[in-house]
Structure 1
Amino acid sequence: MGHPYRLRPFRILRSAAADRAAALREFSALLVAHSEVEEDEVHPALRRYQNVDGDDVEHGVHEHEEADEALLALLEVKDARSEEWEEKLEALVTAVNHHVDEEERPLLNDTRENVADGRRAELGKAFREARAKHLDADCGSVDHVRELVG
């Protein structure tokens, strides 16, 4: 099974028959919550492990910033049926897929190999709880994404 951001949401966002604006609001919330919680909860914990590559962690933060910029550009497109939407969507798809390929997989593999099962379970629980709080706070709103990018 692939990463959740690479499957259904992109298909919906590309579909001319879909409610693209609603799909983007949902995707924005999930992407922003994921990035913020990863940076707040997971990255600080992983930096403490000698065999988890700190450069991968820092590179991931940079890629979150790139994804946020691409997300904001798409959120600011007024017409979800326009060529501009298509262009900005493909830039977002590229940024997210690059992040998954370059940071998520290597970091997850390092974590699997070097962090004990119990600690990984604790991190997963903390991630889920914090993500729910971010989602409840409307973290994917265009105003919040502007703050992140600014």
Structure 2
Amino acid sequence: MPSATNDVVELILADHRRMEELFRTLRSAEADRAAALREFSALLVAHSEAEEGEVYPALRRYKNVDGDDVDHGVHEHEEANEALLALLEVEDTRSEEWEEKLEELVTAVNHHVDEEERTLLNDTRENVADDRRAELGRAFREARAKHLDADCGSVDHVRELVG
């Protein structure tokens, strides 16, 4: 996924927008929901793991970035993973249960995305120098790619994360 930017804020926002697009696909009865869910699952897990591995620890060191917001972000990743697992475990993508679990996932992820964009990402934009955001962006991108290569979105891996 070549991109003109390495700014970690822009990379995170791009993932958030892709997740929103995938939600629209997942809600469409005509779509290949199973394929969209595979992509979504991999993206969500790789994104969260890369944030927690590379971005969040660095942000904790900035006095104008609230450490409680970082902790809250980790907690919300856990909630999103639980909702993701519940959806991955539903076999029939046309069932009422699948629709319900999808909406629980959408709610969990949208809540996190909204909060993260209003708090952590705005704080990062204001308090972290451009060159440092680019360094973090490169680290985020590499970690994300490594997780994607490791099939991080598989139901077994998500089960391990939740377990």
User: TM-score of the superposition, structure 2-length normalised?
Assistant: 0.89
Q: How far does the alpha carbon of each residue in 1:93-133 deviate from its partner, in whole angstroms, 9 at most, with x for none?
A: 00000001122331000001111110000000111111111
Matched residue, 2:123: 110
Q: Are residue 12 (structure 1) and residue 32 (structure 2) matched?
A: no
What's the Cα RMSD here? 1.3
* Aligned residues with identical type, % of pairs: 85
- CA–CA distance in 2 between the matches of 1:103 and 1:43? 11
Is the 2:19–2:40 Cα contact (8 Å) retained in structure 1?
A: no
Is the 1:5–1:96 Cα contact (8 Å) retained in structure 2?
A: no
* Moved segments of 4+, more than 4 Å: none
Q: How far 1:144 sits from its partner (Å)?
A: 0.3
What residue ranges of structure 2 are gaps of 5+ in the alignment? 1-12
What residue ranges of structure 1 are gaps of 5+ in the alignment? none
Matched residue, 1:148: 161
Matched residue, 2:104: 91
- CA–CA distance in 2 between the matches of 1:87 and 1:78? 13
Residue number among 13, 18, 38 corresponding to 2:51 in the alignment: 38
Q: Are residue 69 (structure 1) and residue 79 (structure 2) matched?
A: no
Residue number among 14, 20, 38 corresponding to 1:25 in the alignment: 38
Local SS of the residue matching 1:44 = helix
Q: How far 1:6 sits from its partner (Å)?
A: 4.8
- Larger displacement relative to structure 2 (54-63 or 99-108): 99-108
The letter for the 1-side match of 2:61 is R
Matched residue, 1:59: 72
Local SS of the residue matching 1:81 = coil
Is the 1:59–1:103 Cα contact (8 Å) retained in structure 2?
A: no
- CA–CA distance in 1 between the matches of 2:132 and 2:22? 30
Count how many residue pairs are aligned between Structure 1 and Structure 2.
150
- Larger displacement relative to structure 2 (82-91 or 97-106): 97-106
- CA–CA distance in 1 between the matches of 2:25 and 2:18? 11
